[in-house]
Copies of this chain bind each other. A is one copy, B any other.
Amino acid sequence: MSDMMETLRNHEKMTPKQIEIVKAAIELISEKGYYNTSTSEIAKRAGVAEGTIFRHYRTKKDLLVTIVTPVITNFSAPVFAKKFVSQVFQNDYEHFEDLLYAFIKNRFEFAQSNLPLIKILLQELAFHPEIQTAYKKEFGAKVIPAFNQALDFYKEKGELQNLPNETMIRMMVTTILGFMITRFIVQPDKAWDDEAEINQTIAYIMGGVGR
């Protein structure tokens, strides 16, 4: 794990043992799933007594949510930060394609260096309402508005078709996620030419939404 995640970086108040717990939990849960990973296993891998886990996290689910929630923010937010949005309007990306490229590249690299966490997020999203709530909140409050702004901008420039933003977002997100899931989860061992695939993905999207 090259990127040891905000969970660990942000809270500098974390005990060394606590860090080991989170590391072990990420490894085990991403490999075997939440329900197949017992707290005793996590403790063993972390080199810690089982009770120590519950000193830091009230419940096992609390541990999961603490681990997963920041991923949602970090996976969806940064590109939509002020810096990124202003780059769009300062014409740093002349064409929508350029924006797309920067976006996909950025998220691709993030996914690559946070694979175990992304896996956990995808796998457990279905079963834990707490995670779903966090996801919907993040997506509705940040991703959608920023997307809307950018789409409207390039629509006016005449680069995009006049489809509903919602439809466009769904198709773009679907295509990008689909590529990454295939790349990292379904066929991670294939000999991928990432740069070429990214460009093909962009061409595919532009064919579908551009004019």
Contacts and interface: CB of A to CB of B under 8 A. Distances in A.
Interface of A: 32-33, 35-36, 122-123, 126-127, 163, 167, 170-171, 173-175, 177-179, 182, 197, 200-201, 203-205, 207-210
Given A174-B178, A174-B182, A175-B171, A33 B126 contact: yes
A177 B197 CA distance: 19
A21 to B, nearest CB: 22
A132 to B, nearest CB: 10
Contacts of A207: 207-210
- Interface majority SS on A: helix, strand, loop or mixed? helix
Contact of A205 (B122, B182, B208): B208
A207 B126 CA distance: 32
8 contacts: A33-B35, A123-B127, A163-B200, A170-B179, A174-B178, A204-B208, A207-B210, A208-B208
What are the 9 closest A-B residue pairs judged by CB atoms, nearest first?
A174-B178, A35-B35, A204-B208, A207-B207, A207-B208, A208-B208, A33-B127, A123-B126, A171-B204
A193 to B, nearest CB: 11
B174 A170 contact: no
A209 B208 CA distance: 9
A134 to B, nearest CB: 15
Contacts of A203: 208
Given A32-B127, A35-B36, A205-B208, 17 more contacts: A33-B126, A33-B127, A35-B35, A123-B126, A163-B200, A167-B200, A170-B182, A171-B175, A171-B178, A171-B201, A171-B204, A173-B178, A174-B179, A174-B182, A178-B178, A207-B207, A207-B210
